[in-house]
Amino acid sequence: MSKLISLACLALLGASEVHAQTDAAPAKPALGPDGKPVPQVTISGGRASDMDERRNSVAGKQVYGREELDRNGDSNLGDVLKRLPGVTIGGRPGRGGDVRMRGMGSGYTQVLLNGERPPAGFSMESLSPDQVERVEVMRGPVAEHSTRAIAGTINIILRDGYQQKDKQLKLTDAIEQGRHAPNVSLTVPGKTGSLTWLLTGSVFENRQHDQAETYNRDTRDDGVVLKDQNVLDQTKRTTRGLHLTPRLSYKFDNGDTLNFQPFLMVNRSDSNARSDLAQNFGLVPPALQQPPEYNLALTGSHAESTFLRGFGNWVHKLAGASKLDVKFGFGAGHSDSDSLRYQYDNAGNLLQRYSDDATVRDRSASTGGKYTTPIGREHALAAGWDIELGHRVETKTSLDKNGVSQFGDSGDNLSADTRRLAVFAQDEWDISKQWSGYAGLRWEGIRTTSTRAGQDIVNTSSVLSPLLHGVYRIPGHDKDQIRASLTKSYKAANIQDLIALPSLSRLNSATRPDRTGNPDLKPELATGLDFAYEHYLGRSGIVTAGGFVRDIKDLIRRELTLQNTPTGPRWVSTPANIGHARTKGIELEAKLQLQELVAGGPAIDLRSNYSRFWSSVDGIPGPNNRLDAQPKQTANAGLDWRLKPVPLTLGASLNWTPATIIQSSAEQVVTTSRKRSFDAYALWKYSSHHQIRISANNLVAEDALGSNIVTANGLAQLANTTNQTYVVWSVKYEMKF
């Protein structure tokens, strides 16, 4: 940390010299022969603005570039995404979780990295916004991307060097509960002849402390309490990481372009956990009081992972305006984790010791291509293919203090091969000045073969997805347009749900079950309708109102069963196709600059969005038989105020999700408390090359509450959990040179 502070001080000293130079009188404008100033013309060779891309996209693509990514000085990409319209993040504030569009978790939202599926084990929470050029959000699927996107697609584009001229250095220190998390990020562009490059890298260290308290109570149908206990869990964790995202681009004399971008993530984590279990006396009859599983448990864990992903493409220009874009890629990753857990009784005697080790090795290769050609002036026809091959080897070992395996395949290798093949065709058609249309068709097949304990298990599925999108520009109102889409999409079971080795719970119960896979899962199929009205305001403002409907077949849900295992009866959670579901919602968004609406008004940018969701699952009693983890509502509001007298920008945002009650099955009800995340920042840009940003995330810091109730076999098992959340302060110094 001291080295980071020293580096920041040196940078600030250098900044003062640059600041003095920038304070000099500006150059006078050039004068023409008539003595009048010559008009200045700025030519930009980069891509269209974010708002222009959104407006001109027939299939409804929203783009969020560097301005949005840098706005709040966030340290991870999840904090950026949570403010986007209709996007929520699972888990409690400050700790992140899976990304959900339209409140739909469990894999309904497709996350892509440069248009490709990210490597197995990839965590968006560990990705720094400095590594990202822009984020594209698509509410309806398109043919050139996989249609595994029932809720929508979030495409993360890594730094690609658009209009990148200056080197950038960013020094950040985040503080949570007095624990520092320094981060250094460097971006270096360059060009030599026909070769251009952009080198981006970051190194970080993160220290965190988590505390959760759980109240467990088991009650028989006759009202007799069999268990009444409290569990206090505390974890201290230190994570270190290195991310590198170089990009190389070579332009040939004939106009062809070759691009290549490797992406390396290296993470190391060490943690120490303490679990205190206390029995409560009074409710449980003495004759039925059972000895606790332990009174104190101490666990030490270590985990490390390395992921390397390579993206490349060759763009070949053909006759006319036709072109062929051929993609290629590879991936390699490995992750290792080990933990040692000691459980003691109230007198400090060792009751049990568990050692758990897991090793995962992943390899992948992919290729694809897209041929595009215009047909006249109205049609843009494209067709292409995608092929992806993956291989995984996974080994888990779980032993007690006597060396006894905790599940049947402990220590055995599980190997799995995945093959994905897709072909697609699409046509964007400018029907008239008012109408634009998109028609696409994609066939995608997935085959997974696994070998476990000498037995081969094969799962094969294929989906044909027709896709229609349309835009109508209202005559006489050039700032107004209407969108509509009718699509087929799907959700395939992930490889963990198909073939995963058991994941054991050390305090097994109906509310803390073991987890295993199901090789017979079928993909969920969805028919979707999307519609939206858009009104554009000025250069970067918009007001939208829209909605969606999804009808889902073969819904996948986890089912709880009490099973006999080699170590005795245990509760096990297993995924299964349970039937039919439907969901719908409305989505509102407003984004505007006051100066564009009110002459002489303050330089304030306002952002807000609100979504309301409904859903139901057949075969599960209501009224809360909703899709897993889907809230009823979510909303965001934010503003940025650029002060005129001083180079200071102030901003704040509020993210809100109400309490959620989900009837997961006839036997289980899961409740989560409301989530309010209030963030604020101040940006002091004291020269064109130097600025300091101070930000605070999760200023409200409300405890995250949860409840899980399972009623089965004449017993109601209740688990109420309280997770603490914390305010995170950060200081970021940014320098261009």
Asked whether residue 422 is domain-assigned, the answer is yes
pLDDT band at 625 (very low <50, low <70, confident <90, very high): very high
Rounded to whole angstroms, the Cα distance separating 437 from 162 reads 29
Predicted confidence at residue 298, as pLDDT, reads 98
3-state secondary structure at position 15: helix
- Using DSSP's 3-state secondary structure scheme, residue 598 falls into coil
In a domain, 74, yes or no: yes
CA angle 552, 558, 562 (to 5 degrees): 150
Assign 16 to helix, strand or coil. helix
- The bridge status of strand 296-317 relative to strand 323-344 is antiparallel
> How far apart (Å, rounded) are the C-alpha atoms in residues 364 and 128?
24
Q: How far apart are alpha carbons 499 and 519 in whole angstroms?
A: 6
- Structure confidence at residue 576 (pLDDT): 92
29 pLDDT exceeds 50?
Answer: no
- Amino acid 40: pLDDT: 42
Name the range with the highest mean pLDDT among 9-18, 71-80, 296-305, 410-419: 296-305
Using pLDDT thresholds of 50, 70 and 90, give the confidence band for residue 27. very low
Residue bearing the bigger pLDDT, 469 or 34: 469
Q: Which of 5 and 213 is assigned the larger pLDDT? A: 213
In a domain, 24, yes or no: no
> For residue range 671-721, what is the model confidence (pLDDT) as tens digits?
999 999 999 999 999 888 999 999 999 999 999 999 999 998 889 999 999
Residue with tokens 């599925």, as numbered in its chain: 461
The answer to whether residue 4 sits within a structural domain is no
Within-domain flag for 543: yes
pLDDT score recorded for residue 651:
93
Q: What are 424-441's pLDDT values in tens digits?
A: 999 999 999 999 999 999
- Residue 622: predicted pLDDT: 85
Query: Is residue 15 one of the residues assigned to a domain?
Result: no
Q: Give the pLDDT of residue 81.
A: 84
Token pair of 655 as six digits = 């993210």
Q: Summarize pLDDT for 152-174 with one digit per residue, the tens.
A: 999 988 877 555 678 999 999 99
User: Could you report how far apart the first and last alpha carbons of the chain are, in Å?
Assistant: 23
Cβ–Cβ under 8 Å, residues 343 and 296: yes
Q: Is 376 helix (H, G, I), strand (E, B) or coil?
A: coil
What range does the domain containing 269 cover? Answer: 45-736
Read off the pLDDT band of 285 (50, 70, 90): very high
Predicted pLDDT of residue 366: 94
> Is pLDDT of 133 > 70?
yes
270: pLDDT strictly greater than 50: yes
Q: What is the pLDDT of residue 163?
A: 56
Is 29 inside any structural domain? no
pLDDT score recorded for residue 202: 93
Number of domains in the chain: 1
Q: Which range, of 102-116, 427-441, 519-533, averages the lowest pLDDT? A: 102-116
CA distance 658 to 283: 33
* pLDDT level of residue 85 (50, 70, 90 thresholds): confident
pLDDT of residue 566: 77
Query: Is there a contact between 435 and 470 (Cβ–Cβ < 8 Å)?
Result: yes
Please name which of 549, 447, 489, 487 lies closest in space to residue 148, comparing C-alpha atoms: 489
Residue 601 in any domain: the answer is: yes
- Dihedral sign for Cα atoms in the order 576, 102, 514, 393: positive
Neighbours of 191 (CB within 10 A): 12
Give the pLDDT confidence score for residue 126 in this predicted structure: 66
374 vs 666: CA distance, rounded Å = 55
Please say if the pLDDT value at position 41 is more than 50: no
CATH number of the domain within which 634 lies:
2.40.170.20
C-alpha 271/C-alpha 337 separation (Å) is: 11
pLDDT in the model for residue 430: 92
pLDDT in tens, 95-108: 777 888 998 876 89
Local confidence band at 645 (pLDDT 50, 70, 90 cut-offs)? confident
CB atoms inside a 10 Å sphere around CB 677:
24
Joined together, the tokens standing for residue 9 give 């001080």
